[in-house]
Structure 1
């Protein structure tokens, strides 16, 4: 099985090629070039954004696309390295449910302020008053 090309910072290294076989054919198969394909109208960078919220927006826009199923099947076959394809987020050739924001993940989960008990709030208030 051939290995996927190496990528750094979301860009192919010099000399590596990204296999786009089938993408143009898929988009050209739509009956009308003016068809309302969300990836062909508006900001194309939205489908390759870094911000999780923007990727969620791209996924939403794919919802009613007439070539969504074919787009997803092609992306899976090509093992797309990143982006939103067929309404799913791809990272390193596989579908991920959500993209993690940049930065190091927390060591410990954050306790919501509503989960604090009245006694813990009172004792912390007493400490600050002292």
Structure 2
């Protein structure tokens, strides 16, 4: 897959998942549901499963960051993560670094918001 096509895809996803857009996570998922299958159909002949898997991970990473931005405060993050079933230490670490949304959305949130969480929301997969 060409780097130019990947960058255009990422830019389009960045526009859809802006953290300051004022849209809820289900609204963002609806937009992704309209865009991702068409993009996948264009590039389905490309024999690049690793690239699709990496793009899937990147999209979920962005969605986790959006969710953290919506929660805004450490106390809200802690409460919501505990309600989602996160451990005490994970919820506390994420809440303590509440202003580091992109960094927090990488490792600790993978346990509280796994791939199955996004499957339930209806986020389409590329891989």
Give the TM-score normalised by structure 2.
0.29
Q: Which protein is richer in helix relative to its size?
A: 2
Higher Cα radius of gyration: 1
| Greater relative contact order (CA < 8 Å, ≥ 6 in sequence) | 2
Q: Which protein is richer in strand relative to its size?
A: 1
Give the TM-score normalised by structure 1.
0.29
